[in-house]
Structure 1
Amino acid sequence: MRYPHHRRLLAGAVLLGTGLGALTAVATPPAPVMANPPSSAYTLVFSDEFNGTAVDTTKWHYRTDVKANSAQRPENVSVAGGYLNVHHRKESYAGKSYTAGGVVSKTTFRYGYYESRLRVTDGAGWHGAFWLQAGDGSTTYPAEQRTEIDIFENDSVNPTGTTQNVHLWAGSGVKAAPSKNGWYGPAGFDVRQWHTYGVDWSETSVKFYVDGQLTRTTSYLPSENTHDYVAMWLTSIGYGALPDDSKLPSSTQFDWVRYWLKDAYVDNDGPAAYGYTESGSWLNSTLSGWTVDSTTRYAGCSVAGATATWRPNLRAAGTYEVFYHNIVQSNGDPAARLTVVHSSGTTPTTVNGRSGSTGWVSLGQYHFGAGTAGYARLTGSGGGCARADAVKFVRR
């Protein structure tokens, strides 16, 4: 990688917005430094430096919807000069008078730190964004949309700042709850200049960064809406004010995009289900899991020996605390055995699924090597229904 490491700075004049619909303002601009994840516990697992001569279509879908004032075309996206260039053109296509475009990652992600260095075009009429949401670029309202995080979003008629939003969707463009909106626009800030924008999404919060400084924090709990798997969108479309034809053609540019992972979640559903396996008889449960609408499973309630295994692909060796999401029910297994296999051996723990409260149960802290050698395994005792949802490995 071509980037140096720098110490993160917390802007002294930052106001942190945590409420629904809160707007955030910052009094002084951040220092124009390259950025990194919040700590060394994060490991880079995805990047595109855009140093080639064409879009890497093994990594990216093209944005191809028709929305607002433009139609989005693959022909409007190029890689040249070390940048991903999203071109804006005045041309008739698909019933629109303007065209633009963008790319959407084929790999989906959840918690971690996302970052891109970018600048937007000069002239009114364009909506540049670096954002997270499910989908493949064919529509911004897919049925599976739940979480949307706008790391950078700007209408070019006002180049003085960016929104920093979290939207809660129920799918197909239907809102599940009010948005958590913020604005970053200190005196002298100009989105037409190069800046680095990042977000650290965790199970409990979303933290926004600009040029290495924390600029906004908002709470976002798994009980509020589904924390689903999201793609990275690097896009620009015609939106709001009509484009200024005198500035065309033009482009929004992305220097690079990167994603770092800290903690590993293995669930019984979603893309991370590659690390989840079962033996014995298991059935789908009507009980929701650790985040809204997360599916769960249960084993035969009077048969001992059914197992569920959560095997993460840890990107870095280190100490991790292991948590099992325990779903407590009156017919739950009161003596389910949770076994953690780690670098130093095997550690069993008994978890009561019949009394107490539903939630994360710590199985202890252990050292794990990088890769897939370590895991947690649930074994039903036969004294009740053993339930399988998710296990998380939290880097310490």
Structure 2
Amino acid sequence: MMLCRSIRQVTKKKGVTMSMIKLQLVFFVIAATLVGGGLNSPFLESRDPWGTYVGKFYEVRAYSNGTTNYLGPYDTYGYRYQCVEWINRFYVQMMLHKNMRGSGDANQYYDKYESLGLNRYPNGGTEPPQPKDILCSNGGLHGHVAIVREVGSNYVKVIQQNWYNDYRDSSMTLSMTVSGGHYTVSGFNSSYPIQGWLRKPPIAVYDYVHHIEDNWPEFTRYGPSNYWYEYTFDPANSSNTIGVCRNHLWWTYSNGNTISNYGIWRPNLAYSGDYEIFVFVPANYATTQNAKYEIHHANGTTIVPVNQNNYYGIFVSLGQFRFNAGTSGYVLLADNTGEPVQSRMIAFDDIAFVYKGEGGPVEEARAEQSGVFTFEINNSLNLSSTKIKYGLPKSCDVSLKIYNIAG
């Protein structure tokens, strides 16, 4: 625990990563008991080198652990790149969940579901797995966990870390049998049976969560370019920290009470109604104690101060506000923190708009990446067939649900 604090202090206050405590970390890794996933794969030969990109799901990337008995640096979400580091990171950065780092080996997750804040469903039960569920095994010495990315009538596909340690970890297929309303998923192999799956309770109506990353079109930077600084996570660099949302952020320095540089997140929202706003505070380049998020919503403007120095690679709620559909609402963050010039760093990362209800159509318009969902329905008075045309901001898998007037 003391080491965790020292990692946080260096990355937050110095604006660098873990290079200054590298010797401490090496000593700790040698002496530590294996936690947070352990050495969970039966494939002991070397695959892709450590830190190699193997795949992504909802823009959250998974990486190779190299040789599966390697224990990387203890970072924001656990040991890179163990299986539990991946599910911890995915659940924070995509699901807006708490950081589950330090919850033990993979074989403990299924039994700890209550303390993790998750729902649990047994393998062979009546509740089928769904995309974004955590598939759990207590096999081997330390177990294994993976994220469900696709469910078919007789299969489940998962994305994981530290199994094959190559491209196959992006989409491993497990067979599923359905009998009498019960769903049974085969193990990762004969030594790693599936206990069941964990699921985050719903946080949004229609499951509509609109993310805006700092390098996506809906975010715009203003002010002198020489006072904007960019950080891109290098997965193969053990001294970098992974605690930035989807590997990228912008930052600038505090500027007293004068606005010089600022950024705006302007979503194109599918529904009118109430939204809870979450801002991602990264593990580094976020030392201001007075980041003033200016929320322009349907009922006016609200300023919510956040002490970024108190948070570490996690989403923080700004509260719930009403927004109209479209692009009229936005969130602004500037460098006028009231702190001395260039004394603190202000980070600009992901913001998520979580739909809480009131108004909006029944169509579910959800893409992997934020953007505009457009559609056109034309049946030309032909009641036997209907054409639905839709547009998305990028190539991705699409789930289209059709409801009648009764819902």
TM-score (norm 2): 0.39
TM-score (norm 1): 0.40
